[in-house]
Amino acid sequence: MNLIFKKMGKFSPKWKFPVFFLFLILFSAVVTAATDVGTFKQWTAVELRHTISFNGTIDTTTANITVYDSDNTLLVSNQAMTKNTASADFNYTVPSGVTGELGTYPYTVCGYSTVAAGKCEDFSFDVTPSGDKGLLGFYFLAIILSYGVTGLGIYKKDITITLLGTFAITFIGIYMLFFGIDVFKNYMTDGFAWVTLGVAFYLSARMAHEYII
C-alpha cells in the first residue's frame, strides 16, 4: 500500500457527521453493556434475589439454592439463602471464583414453610466476558465503520480522518482483547484483536511518518 500525503489533510465538514457517528456508536457500547440485568461479567460475584410465596398468603421461612455452571458442573449444593425481613426477599451471592465459565448457569431455588410443602422453581443467568449479551450486530457494525472511516481517509489522502479511524480500530482491538466479541472470547477473537491492533499500529506509524516528511 502506497500512502502519499504531501501535507496534513484538512478535516472536511463533509465527513464530520459520519466520523462523529462512529465514535457515538462506540461509546454507546459501554452504556448498553450495563443495562442487561440478567447477564453478568466473567469472574465477578453474582447476587441472586428472589421472593417466594405460597399462594400469596403463606410466609416462607427458609430457602435453599442449587447452582450449576454452563457445563452442568455443580457449583452450589442446596445452600441456605439469606432472608431480608424487611422485603421478604431471599438472596444468595455466587462467589466470583466460580463464574469463570462462559454461558448459561441454571439454578434452582426451593422455599420452605412450616405450614406448607416445599416449593421449587428453576432459573438461569448468563456469564459473558464483558457482562453484555445480544450485541453481536453492534460489534460487526462498529468494526465495519471503523475500517470504513480509515479506508475513507486513505482514499481521500486525509491524515486526520485516517488517524481517527485508526483510533477507533485501536479501541475496538483493545476491547476485543479483554472482552471478546459479545458472548464469545476464544483464540479466534484474540487473534482478530491482535490483527486489528497490528493494522492500527501500522497505519498510525505510516501517518506519523507521512506527516513528518
Contact assessment for residue 111 and residue 58, using Cβ atoms and an 8 Å cutoff = no
Average pLDDT score, the chain:
76
Q: Please state, in angstroms and as integers, the Cα–Cα distance from residue 147 to each residue in 23, 52, 196, following that order.
A: 13, 51, 10
Which residue type occupies 213?
I
User: What is the arrangement of strands in the sheet containing 103-113, beginning at the earlier edge strand?
Assistant: 39-41, 116-128, 103-113, 62-68, 74-80
pLDDT of residue 94: 94
Q: What is the pLDDT of residues 54-92, one digit of tens each?
A: 666 666 688 999 999 988 999 999 999 998 877 778 999
pLDDT of residue 76: 94
The CATH code that applies to domain 39-128 is 2.60.40.10
Contact assessment for residue 72 and residue 15, using Cβ atoms and an 8 Å cutoff = no
21-25, 123-127, 142-146, 185-189 — most confident range: 123-127
Quick one: DSSP state of residue 10?
Answer: P
CA torsion sign, 31 to 32 to 37 to 38?
negative
pLDDT of residue 85: 76
Q: What is the pLDDT of residues 143-189, one digit of tens each?
A: 888 888 888 877 777 777 777 888 888 888 888 888 777 667 777 87
Considering only CA atoms, which of 96, 98, 74, 94 is closest in space to residue 82? 94
Which residues, other chains included, contact 200 with Cβ-Cβ below 8 Å and sequence gap of 6+? 166, 167, 169, 170, 173
11-15, 114-118, 169-173 — most confident range: 169-173
Domain positions in the chain: 13-36+132-212, 39-128
Find the mean pLDDT for residues 102-114. Answer: 87
- Confidence band, pLDDT 50/70/90 cuts, at residue 35: very low
Q: Please check the confidence at residue 130 and state whether its pLDDT lies above 60.
A: yes
